[in-house]
Structure 1
Amino acid sequence: MSAQTNWAGTHTYAGRIETPRSIEEIQRIVGSAQRVRALGTRHSFNDIADSELLVSLEDMPADIEVDEDASTARVAAQLPFALVAAAVDERGLALHNLGSLPHISVGGATATATHGSGLHNGNLSTAVVGLEFVTADAGILRIDRRDERFAGAVVHLGALGVVTHLTLGLEPRYDVRQDVYLGVPWEEVLGDPVGVFGAAYSVSVFTHWAGDRTDQVWLKARLDDGDLPVADVWRGGTRSVGPIGPVGPVDEDDNTTVQGVRGSWHARLPHFRFDTQPSAQGDEIQTEYFVGLEDAASALSALRELADRIDPLLIITELRTVAADDLWLSTAYERNSLAIHFTWHSRPAEVTAILPEIEAALAPFAPRPHWGKWFAEAHANARYPRFDDAVELMTELDPTGVFRNPYTERVLGLG
């Protein structure tokens, strides 16, 4: 197959791509490979998934097996969250959280601790209760919370094997309403981050860094017990009455969720519709850092000092929160976190140049970069208390380095 790029065109995959149709074929490919990595929906922005040989599961059976009694779903790793969410919703069940893009695969998103939003909501990886890998010896490993290695296996960065299936924990379905407020002052966010980000089930602040006001605040309210009142003014911002996307007004049929109208959780928690091209049509670069929620005001203030450097390169920043978890390489490991996301114009040299400045500004707050996006820091081990345990598990399950690549060498110190 000819060379392929990731979704945004920021990385061209170097390896040959195989598309097996069965687990036995995956075992054959892994068993005969010196180096191999699993390739998902190509939504990572760096080389985390690259290798001399790539395995795409896009032609594998689209398994979704819902166990209503256990409130779980066993799903094929390559499936996008949108399809899984719709299937479990039909059974009266739901996931606790979804990312802004419903297009991302369950396997890839959970492997990198990709997240949605919510002061009390864990990232997408925290829904995982079981995984099934093809390991470096071409065997099958099934692992769940009864295994002491489970917390080190969920956010695995592709270094433990090819995940074929995941089992996700579910809860009863619920409805959500999204309301957007324009021009909320920065002083509200800096002065009371817990109050702002705790104002709804899921909260996103979209903004640039200069000026006195943020661009938009999206409140996604969970409606378990009926509708909640809607204010025309909230924390100094005015409620948007028309359809709006992260960077401003959009057409009714554009890629956004419906404003102010109650709907199913899977139609409201994502920012974009599954049937449209999301965000800036892919012509972008993404970066994201996680800091402790207690440092939110100080970290944001430090970045605002760089507004004149950041804003000319920026399409939009999104601020969200993620609840702490126990997954060893999760960006929210044992830390309620503020996620500071940058969607950049596709100007690689200039973005590369500013990342060290951003990381220097955030350094006092021990930032953890999103594993699948652009960052400058080479090694992240000091940010993760269980980092050495995670690397030990990678070495135990893959002693000859079948699933290693330049990324694992650069970022994890695993060559």
Structure 2
Amino acid sequence: MAHPASVAELQDVVADARKIRALGSRHSFNDIADTAGTLIVLDRLDAAISIDRQAMTVSVSGGTRYGTLAAELQRHGFALHNLASLPHISVAGAVATATHGSGDRNGNLATAVAALELVTADGAVVTARRGDPDFDGMVVGLGALGIVSRLTLDIEPSFHVAQSVFEGLDWEQVLEKFDDVTSSAYSVSLFTDWSGEKIGQAWLKNRTDEPAVSAGLPEFFSGLPATRARHPLPGVSGSNCTQQLGLAGPWSDRLAHFRMEFTPSKGDELQSEYLVPREHAVEAIRTLRRLSGIITPLLLIGEVRTIAADQLWLSPNYGRAGIGLHFTWRQDQPAVKAILPRLEAELAPLGARPHWGKLFHAGAADLAPLYPRFADFTALAGRLDPDGKFRNAFLDRTVFSR
């Protein structure tokens, strides 16, 4: 394992390696980062967070965690458009796998990328900017194109968010007016175990500089406001979650579900997620409720979120707005892997695309028809990495083997 302390050192390691992969914050649940060669970690690169106030961008090292970046941006009066559930994840790793937060109008984290710096197979540094040829193919790169050493992200003026939690929403009411539910706040998450007639929790994150449809409501689709801080997992203290109860505060302390200074997990877990086109949202949810008999016994918690469309070639939201159907599984990998083919078969007619950083069953032959620019991506990888230095078993199985 290599921990370069400079881009020059990174270039040397990459150039000398026979096989190499980057390891981010270790929050992937499949073998996307595995390699038989050199495993490289960017945790010793200087974050070198640089804000360009005129361009409204921030430049940052790829190994920097979102929580670190968010705190620094807030200190200077700026914000990112969104955060994922965890602030602990690295910027390059989250971008490379199209990791996302929630919100009807919010693209995944990769959509904020305005430029990136990539160390390619021969050790050269390549820079690409939004609007350049192939830029949209390089952003969600799965580590197949090189090691992303630095990224430039769009920023905006800082804003405050008030987060409220409602409990026990009625499923049928929610599905009847699903668009009203997800548009009721800047970011909406629904937590469920997929059984029964009630949704466990709805987390609503309202920007205080925008009209708040759901602020101060006595109930929300039959759900009642929580009276103390909640954790998505039943029986777990809400103390490690971001501030709730409608108390407004900086975006950096509200848009993620969990606080940077706490470990969010209950313990060992596995995760899967499928992104489904928005027009099939209700049908997909009804499908999972129908399958609760096989899902719920293995589940710690499920989450439903919305994500805006984008034009990044391998983004699961390429060309379409959608919903994310997230599963946090119990630590029983054989049992989880055994039900994934059934789950994917049920969701396949709805155009479900799996999250690249989580457990899924589909191979390249299944995935290629779901992405209009899939062949363009494999061609791009062939040009930037002709000898397959960055390829591994995961990429061979899910991208290059058809």
Whether these two folds match at TM > 0.5 is: yes
Report the Cα distance in structure 2 between the residues aligned to 1:37 and 1:414, rounded to whole angstroms.
19
Q: What is the 5 A alignment of 1:226-237?
A: 229-237=215-223
- The aligned runs of 1:14-53 (5 Å cut-off) are 17-51=1-35, 52-53=37-38
Q: How does 1:303-318 map to 2 (within 5 A)?
A: 303-318=288-303
> Which of 102, 107, 110 pairs up with 1:125?
110
Q: Equivalent of 1:75, from 23, 35, 60? A: 60
Distance in 1 of aligned mates of 2:390 and 2:31: 13
- More displaced 10-residue stretch of structure 1: 254-263 or 233-242: 254-263
Q: Do residues 407 (structure 1) and 391 (structure 2) align?
A: no
Q: Which whole-Å CA distance do the structure 2 matches of 1:262 and 1:249 have between them?
A: 25
Q: Of 375, 379, 385, which residue of structure 2 is paired with 1:388?
A: 375
**1:92-141 Cα deviation digits (max 9, x unpaired):** 11000100000000000000000000001000000100000110111010
Deviation for aligned residue 1:397: 0.5
CA RMSD across the alignment: 1.4
Could you tell me how far 1:210 is from its partner in structure 2?
1.4
Residue 246 in 1 paired to residue 226 in 2?
no
Instruction: Determine the C-alpha separation between the residues in 1 that align with 2:243 and 2:41.
Output: 30
TM-score, normalising length: structure 1: 0.93
Identity of aligned residues (%): 46
Secondary structure of the equivalent of 2:203?
strand
Tell me, in whole angstroms, the C-alpha distance in 2 between the residues paired with 1:201 and 1:248.
25
Q: How many residue pairs align between the two structures?
A: 398
Counterpart of 1:403, as a letter, is F
Letter in 1 for 2:14: V
Does structure 2 retain, via aligned residues, the 8 Å contact 1:115–1:322?
A: yes
Q: For residues 205-250 of structure 1, what are the alpha-carbon distances to aligned partners after superposition, in whole Å with 9 as ceiling and x for unaligned? A: 0001111111011110011158774112111111101110102365
Please state if 1:297 is matched with 2:282: yes
- The aligned counterpart of 1:397 is 384
Residues 59-95 of structure 1: per-residue CA shift (max 9 Å, x gap): 1112100111211100010011011011111111100
SS in 1 for 2:72: helix
Contact 1:257 1:270 in 2 (8 A): no
Q: Matches of 2:98 and 2:238 in 1, distance apart?
A: 32
Give per-residue Cα distances to partners, 1:275-307, cap 9 Å, x unaligned. 0001323x1000000000100011111111111
Structure 1 gap ranges (5+): 1-16
Distance 1:227 1:121, change over 3 A: closer
Which amino acid in structure 1 is aligned with residue 375 of structure 2?
Answer: D
CA drift of 1:254 comes to: 3.0
SS class of match (1:234): coil
Q: Cα distance, 1:259 vs. partner? A: 2.6
Name structure 2 gaps, 5 residues minimum: none
Q: 1:35 deviation in Å?
A: 0.8
Q: Aligned pair 1:324/2:309, yes or no?
A: yes
Q: Partner of 2:141: helix, strand, or coil? A: coil
- Residue in structure 1 matched with residue 356 of structure 2 by the alignment: 371
Secondary structure of the structure 1 residue equivalent to 2:198 = coil
